[in-house]
């Protein structure tokens, strides 16, 4: 391991970057060094811009992939080499502003109620009814469930932030049934052994398999459930600042994109919608 790579890993660890983010950033720097056959500290801004152009024109990488590479490169030059000016001269393609194929509430309920396996059904229902990222779902702990206050604690979500998300009575009852059957002691959803969480890939494959089984052909992986949570809560009149808090967004502008996906949104005073009921059951326009 080179000194620069080791230093980068140390800084990412101190900043509490997720393992996936660390791997992505290291991969970006490995590709950059391999392209020039030089240590990254020997490159200047012109070299970096030529590399981004190469990714777009010759490698034909999508805008999102280019920006992921750029994020890793910027992190290295800002934090390891202390070159803050790197932000000024290197550009990547704009991300296309596309609205995903949003699931209606009736479609989501067909998916989350379909699995016969109680554990699988609970995983999908909880992911949807609380708007969780898959990384947050698999890291939930039993002691994070607060039945008295009807909420669940999401520990070390994106950005290493803890937050609380409301639980409906229906979801809480489902969790109680699940606990009585499986008796988890630490990790809420265990993998092959009680001390290991279920893997992200396992839950992701469960969602895709179940969606196919119920005949829904819309594009999108398990993150579609988080999008559905956001849009369906807004349809129910949830104030935007509460949605921001429950989704764990730092910036309100990140949350505001959902308003563009729900053109009939009226900011209301309603504070929570039990999405596992059939209270909202119409197509998004």
Residue 149 annotated to the active site = no
Residue 209 annotated to the active site = no
Residues 6+ apart with CB under 8 A from 194: 184, 185, 186, 187
Q: Compute the distance between CA of residue 192 and CA of residue 202 in angstroms, rounded to an integer.
A: 11
Q: How far is residue 57 CA from its own chain's centroid? A: 29
Catalytic residue among 25, 77, 128, 258: 258
The 10 Å Cβ neighbour count of residue 59 is 12
Residue 244 corresponds to which tokens in the numbers above? 């921001």
Residue 258 annotated to the active site = yes
Q: Compute the distance between CA of residue 22 and CA of residue 28 in angstroms, rounded to an integer.
A: 10
Q: Compute the distance between CA of residue 73 and CA of residue 244 in angstroms, rounded to an integer.
A: 29
Rg over alpha carbons for the chain, rounded to the nearest Å, is 21
Catalytic residue among 5, 158, 200, 245: 158
Residue 158 annotated to the active site = yes
Catalytic residue among 120, 226, 227, 232: 226
Q: Compute the distance between CA of residue 238 and CA of residue 242 in angstroms, rounded to an integer.
A: 7
Catalytic residue among 125, 187, 211, 249: 249
Q: Compute the distance between CA of residue 132 and CA of residue 124 in angstroms, rounded to an integer.
A: 10
Contact 86, 78 (CB under 8 A): yes
Residues 6+ apart with CB under 8 A from 96: 63
Q: Compute the distance between CA of residue 235 and CA of residue 283 in angstroms, rounded to an integer.
A: 10
Residue 249 annotated to the active site = yes
Residue 60 annotated to the active site = no
* CB hemisphere CA count around 76 (13 angstroms): 30
Catalytic residue among 200, 223, 245, 265: 223
Catalytic residue among 120, 121, 125, 133: 133
80 burial level (CB within 10 Å; 0-12, 13-18, 19+) = buried
Catalytic residues: 133, 158, 223, 226, 249, 258
């Amino acid at each position: 391991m080179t000194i620069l790579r080791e230093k980068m890993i140390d800084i990412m660890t101190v900043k509490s970057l997720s393992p996936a983010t660390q791997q992505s950033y290291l991969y970006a720097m490995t590709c950059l060094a391999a392209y020039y056959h030089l240590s990254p500290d020997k490159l200047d801004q012109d070299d970096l811009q030529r590399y981004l152009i190469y990714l777009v024109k010759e490698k034909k990488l999508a805008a999102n992939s280019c920006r992921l590479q750029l994020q890793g490169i910027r992190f290295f030059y800002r934090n390891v080499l202390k070159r803050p000016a790197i932000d000024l001269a290197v550009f990547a393609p704009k991300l296309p502003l596309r609205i995903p194929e949003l699931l209606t509430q009736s479609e989501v309920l067909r998916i989350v109620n379909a699995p016969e396996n109680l554990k699988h059904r609970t995983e999908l229902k909880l992911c949807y009814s609380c708007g969780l990222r898959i990384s947050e779902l698999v890291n939930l702990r039993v002691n994070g469930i607060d039945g008295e206050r009807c909420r669940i604690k999401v520990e070390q979500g994106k950005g290493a932030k803890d937050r609380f998300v409301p639980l409906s009575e229906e979801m809480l009852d489902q969790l109680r049934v699940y606990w009585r059957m499986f008796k988890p002691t630490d990790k809420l959803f265990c993998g092959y052994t009680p001390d290991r969480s279920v893997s992200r890939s396992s839950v992701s494959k469960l969602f895709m398999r179940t969606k196919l089984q119920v005949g829904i052909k819309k594009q999108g992986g398990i993150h579609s459930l988080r999008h559905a949570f956001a849009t369906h809560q807004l349809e129910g009149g949830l104030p935007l600042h509460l949605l921001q808090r429950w989704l764990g967004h730092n910036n309100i502008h990140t949350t505001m994109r959902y308003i563009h996906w729900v053109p009939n949104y009226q900011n209301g005073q309603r504070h929570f919608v039990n999405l596992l009921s059939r209270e909202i059951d119409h197509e998004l326009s």
